[in-house]
């Protein structure tokens, strides 16, 4: 077993920057700021049960989900951490209906930050893993004034960096700049993220499928056929296993490490499914593809979809390449082509 190198997140980021002579160091600075925000949010998430921070605020976000105080805390922590330093021209968050401009006195930068501050928050009370998801683009609008909605609605293949922080039994920071996916686990003893998953590659095929089977009777026929096929047949002597946490960051993280497939399909009740394209599916697709996997809406690459609105939803089939290709075949066959 190769000896794990003692590599902190800051050192990994700076070494990565050296590999690109054209790098200005801005993305490094952004990632370091994001890791600081991650530590602050992790601290709050991990003591949520002890501090009266639970309970509903009575407000709801754009998607109509009840908003828990930790959601707002995470949202505000990310804004405070990222709204100075002059890196961004515009931001957008699941917790805010509209795009977010930088404070008036702040220098305007060339990057765009899109994030889901605390995905899976309905699980907080049950101490189930939850996560932050982020996505970074370069602006596409001319000039150096405030960014616009157009800067936030770029296809996912144009991402510069994507990542997530999973607040689980430990806090893990995973990111990619498109070449290699790296995971860092927070050592609370000295508050540093240490390299724990070096150059993650997702298995070409797994043996786990992950979907909310409570929606079975609303599914398209092809998906029903696919799930029955996984349950009825033997792969290396056993059928697939079902695993569903109900927290996208946790389900995708497990899929990235163990292989298999995570799905949030469209169905007869919600044609576009539930998960948001801009700040959930695009960053996760960018990460999984960088690890050698595949992510589609059942037909087309998620990363090629041009977003039409900030909070739009899209069906997602993401994970090991062979598993995603197989479900696409079942869906196509059932549609007769």
Active site residues: 65, 71, 94-95, 116, 118-119, 280
Estimate to the nearest angstrom the gap between the alpha carbon of 99 and the chain centroid: 19
CA–CA gap between residue 254 and residue 291 (Å, rounded): 13
Q: Tokens in use for 324? A: 């995603």
Kindly indicate which of the ranges 22-30, 141-149, 243-251, 320-328 contains the residues binding ligand P6P, using the contact rule CB under 6 A: 243-251
User: Which member of 197, 274, 294, 313 binds ligand P6P (CB under 6 A)?
Assistant: 274
Rounded to a whole number of angstroms, the minimum distance from the CB of residue 266 to ligand P6P is: 12
Kindly indicate which of the ranges 47-55, 75-83, 135-143, 241-249 contains the residues binding ligand P6P, using the contact rule CB under 6 A: 241-249
User: Which member of 248, 263, 287, 288 binds ligand P6P (CB under 6 A)?
Assistant: 248
For 41, phi then psi, to 5°, come to: -65, -40
Instruction: Return left, alpha or beta for 210; rule: phi > 0 is left, psi -120 to 50 is alpha, else beta.
Output: beta
Quick check: 119 binds ligand P6P (CB under 6 A)?
yes
Kindly indicate which of the ranges 12-20, 200-208, 244-252, 294-302 contains the residues binding ligand P6P, using the contact rule CB under 6 A: 244-252
**Residue 3 to residues 8, 198, 199, Cα–Cα distance (Å):** 15, 11, 14
Nearest Cα residue to 170 out of 148, 189, 155:
189
Quick check: 212 binds ligand P6P (CB under 6 A)?
yes
Quick check: 270 binds ligand P6P (CB under 6 A)?
no
Burial class (CB in 10 A: 0-12, 13-18, 19+), 33: middle
Question: Taking CB under 6 A as the criterion, which residues in 11-70 touch ligand P6P?
Answer: none
**Residues of this chain that bind ligand P6P (CB under 6 A):** 119-120, 122, 212, 246-248, 251, 264, 274
């Amino acid at each position: 077993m190769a000896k794990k190198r003692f590599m902190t997140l800051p050192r990994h980021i700076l070494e990565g920057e050296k590999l690109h002579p054209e790098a200005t160091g801005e993305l490094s600075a952004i990632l370091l700021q994001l890791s600081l925000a991650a530590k602050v949010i992790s601290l709050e998430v991990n003591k949520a049960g002890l501090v009266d921070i639970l309970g509903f605020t009575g407000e709801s976000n754009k998607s109509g989900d009840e908003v828990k105080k930790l959601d707002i805390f995470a949202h505000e922590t990310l804004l405070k951490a990222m709204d100075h330093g002059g890196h961004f021209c515009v931001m957008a968050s699941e917790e805010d209906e509209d795009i977010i401009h930088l404070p008036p006195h702040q220098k305007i930068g060339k990057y765009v930050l899109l994030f889901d501050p605390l995905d899976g928050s309905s699980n907080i009370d049950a101490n189930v893993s939850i996560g932050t998801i982020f996505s970074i683009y370069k602006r596409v609008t001319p000039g150096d004034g405030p960014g616009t909605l157009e800067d936030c609605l770029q296809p996912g293949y144009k991402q510069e960096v994507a990542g997530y922080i999973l607040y689980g039994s430990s806090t893990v920071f995973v990111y990619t700049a498109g070449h290699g996916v790296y995971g860092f686990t927070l050592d609370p003893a000295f508050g540093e993220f240490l390299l724990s998953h070096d150059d993650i590659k997702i298995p070409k095929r797994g043996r786990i499928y992950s979907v909310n089977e409570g929606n079975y009777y609303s599914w398209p026929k092809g998906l029903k056929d696919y799930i029955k096929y996984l349950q009825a047949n033997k792969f290396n002597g056993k059928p697939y296993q079902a695993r569903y946490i109900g927290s996208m960051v946790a389900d995708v993280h497990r899929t990235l490490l163990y292989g298999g497939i995570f799905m949030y399909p469209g169905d007869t009740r919600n044609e576009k499914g539930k998960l948001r394209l801009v700040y959930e599916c695009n960053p996760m697709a960018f990460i999984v593809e960088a690890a050698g996997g595949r992510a589609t809406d059942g037909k087309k690459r998620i990363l090629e979809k041009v977003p039409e609105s900030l909070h739009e939803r899209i069906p997602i089939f993401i994970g090991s390449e062979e598993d995603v290709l197989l479900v696409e075949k079942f869906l196509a066959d059932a549609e007769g082509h």
